[in-house]
Structure 1
Amino acid sequence: MSTITLKVQGMSCGHCVNSVEGAVKGLGANAKVDLASGSVTVDYEAAKLSVDAIKEAIEDQGYDVV
């Protein structure tokens, strides 16, 4: 299991948390959003999922991964 923490801009509420966590869960990974720091920590299987795919799933929800 690998873990990465991404800085994500544009998240401000519970809906944002649900959108991001849901998008990552749809890829088969687990995400934990920290609104205060504007970050998302993702636990994923590196052999099955790339960081680029995780970033794309978050960006598809309307947020910017920086």
Structure 2
Amino acid sequence: MQKAVIQLETLSCPSCLQKIENAVKGINGIDQNSLKVLFNASKVKVNFDSEAVAINNIEKAIEDLGYPVVKSKVKSA
């Protein structure tokens, strides 16, 4: 498992949080129990199986919703 912290541009509405959560939860290889979208910090924290999904797939799912990713950090969980 890998642990990702994805920094987004400032989130402006709580419903954004729900959209991002649903999009990321729908990705194969995501540890759904580890997923946290931090509204005030505009960050997504999630553990994922790097053999099933790459960090750029997770970023793309978020960006496809219209939320630009500023940067991501990935480390072994």
TM-based fold match above 0.5: yes
Partner of 1:57: 61
Residue matched to 2:26: 26
Greater fraction helix: 1
Identity %: 33
Which consecutive unaligned segments of at least 5 residues does structure 1 have? none
Q: Which residue of 1 aligns with 2:50?
A: 46
Q: Which has the larger radius of gyration?
A: 2
TM-score between the two structures when normalised by the length of structure 2: 0.78
RMSD: 1.2
Q: How many residues align?
A: 66
Query: With structure 1 as the length reference, what TM-score do the two structures score?
Result: 0.89
The list of structure 1 runs, each at least 4 consecutive aligned residues, that deviate by more than 3 angstroms after superposition, is none
Runs of at least 5 residues in structure 2 that lack an aligned partner in the other structure: 71-77
